Amino acid sequence: GLYRNALQLLQTQGMAEPQQNGLRGTFPIVRYLLRLPSAQYELVLEYARWPLQVGLEREQAERTASGESGAAENSSATHSSVMSDDEDEDWPKPSVIVSMVFADDRPAAVSFPRTRVASYLRQLSLKLTVQYLAYVFDTWDDTTPALHDDMVAAYLGLVEENESRDDEHELRRRLQLFLKTSHQYSPEKALARLPDDRLFEERALILSRLGRHEQALCLLVFSVADLALAEQYCVENLDNCANVFVLLLGILVSDPPTDIADNEAEQIRAEEASKEPADDGKSTDFLQKDLEAVRTRMHRRFAGHLLSKYHQNIPANSALRLLPLDMEFTHDIFVYLRGQLCALDQDMRASNVVRNLRIGEDFQARRQLQRLQSGYVVVSDTRTCPQCLKRIGSGTAFAVIPPSRTNPGDAPVVVHYSCWQRQKSALKLADAATSRLHAAGGFGDHDVENEDGVSPSASESFAPAARVSLKWA
């Protein structure tokens, strides 16, 4: 209640005609809105409308006055600018109000429902909507799809209602940048909002997001009539579509589709008419007759440029199948075929190198397998275990101890598995005792032997052999 009463008082004082008090203009109410907590966002939306509307009306009046004023009023421009600066302090512009109240790092502004604020600003001005959403995306990294869809709709609305060609060019540039960088908006919704007779570059960007690259390239070639832009599109989408240059090559050597605007034909007519003005009607008939010939010559020349510059991205089996038989064999075609043959020869050489390396690896693996399979021990019925001196039978678990490192020529030793386990446990105990003696300043390794008279340093000799074949006698 007190918040509302204070805001109502500030609005009444700001609207009063004799503004001799300190509450003149819309700035006092805007400054008070900054103090409200986030729970009072309904009051913020309600009482921010009047300052925004007043600011929009003042901007519209200034644009009208500047359009009606002539060159004779330039002498009083300095005096008027000083008065307008004094007035702007009490009557802030709508963009300043949005920056202060909504697009700000205050906790209250951050917690405002952003979809609600965007809808609220869209009712007042699309320009303010774009300003707020740009701050939301750049500063707060908001990835809400609905807000990104609102941004696309706001940009399209500004482009439609803008009358200045320079402003429209800047708006379209910003819209195209947003369509390229944002991945949260819905391409289907954005495509449905586009007009059918213009904004073909924006339509191509949205079609690329949907993976419809061939339709996008048709628009850039025939509707936008910019072959360089089509080439740039292929470079930017090469990672998403490996055969995008092949698609463009197929479009260049084909007839234009009938379901899209053919602005390229109008551009060719205008260029040819500027070269040879039509004074008796004959030139116009000639241009109409040979339009496709001029287009074909231009497209084939650009196709040769693509083949020579991006030969590594255009496979020969696809390009040669698309090129018409009557296409002139130019230097660009020669460069393309030479690049393809060099690439093929390089691939064959690389394949041969890999093949020879694989043959060498296979030979080494076979030799290592043969060497491992040549080592074996014979376990006969009369063979005894050197640890327990008992016979090793065919149904007894045993272990094969390889030769020691000091005597690699000795034969492997076959012992009972249980004997090997006991010997290994004894060696561990001996190693532990040696470690304790070392810690207490006792003996060295040569002074300690286990109960079987074997030094702990010989423990490595009792590891079972990993690659020894067995033969039963």
Six token digits for residue 316: 């020969």
Residue reference for tokens 């060295």: 444
Q: What is the pLDDT of residue 399?
A: 87
pLDDT given at position 460: 42
> Which of the four pLDDT bands, split at 50, 70 and 90, describes residue 409?
low
Q: What is the pLDDT of residues 13-42, one digit of tens each?
A: 888 765 556 677 899 999 999 999 999 999
Q: Give me the pLDDT at residue 215, please.
A: 96
CA distance 10 to 263: 57
Contact 333, 249 (CB under 8 A): no
Does 233 have pLDDT greater than 50?
A: yes
Using CA atoms of 285, 286, 287, 292 in order, give the dihedral in degrees to the nearest 10: 110
Measuring CA to CA, which residue among 5, 198, 28, 146 is closest to residue 97?
A: 28
**pLDDT by residue (tens digit) across 237-284?**
999 999 999 999 999 999 888 888 888 888 888 887 777 655 554 455
Express as a percent the part of the chain with pLDDT over 70. Answer: 83
Lowest mean pLDDT among 294-298, 341-345, 433-437, 458-462: 458-462
pLDDT digits (tens, 9 = 90+) for 153-182: 999 999 998 867 778 899 999 999 999 999
Q: What is the pLDDT of residues 123-143, one digit of tens each?
A: 999 999 999 999 999 999 999
pLDDT value at residue 306: 96
Q: Give the residue, 271 or 85, on which the prediction is more confident.
A: 271
Q: How many CA atoms lie less than 13 Å away from 92 in the CB half-sphere?
A: 18
Please state the φ and ψ torsions of residue 449, each to the nearest 5 degrees.
Answer: -135, 150
Q: What is the pTM of this model?
A: 0.71
Residue 44 reports pLDDT greater than 70: yes
Rounded CA-CA distance 225/268 in Å is: 9
* pLDDT exceeds 90 at position 288: no
How far, in Å, CA of 373 to CA of 69, rounded?
104
Instruction: Find the mean pLDDT for residues 325-349.
Output: 91
Task: Tell me if 45 sits within 8 A of 121, measured CB to CB.
Answer: no
| Average pLDDT over the chain, rounded to an integer | 83
pLDDT, mean of residues 392-414? 77
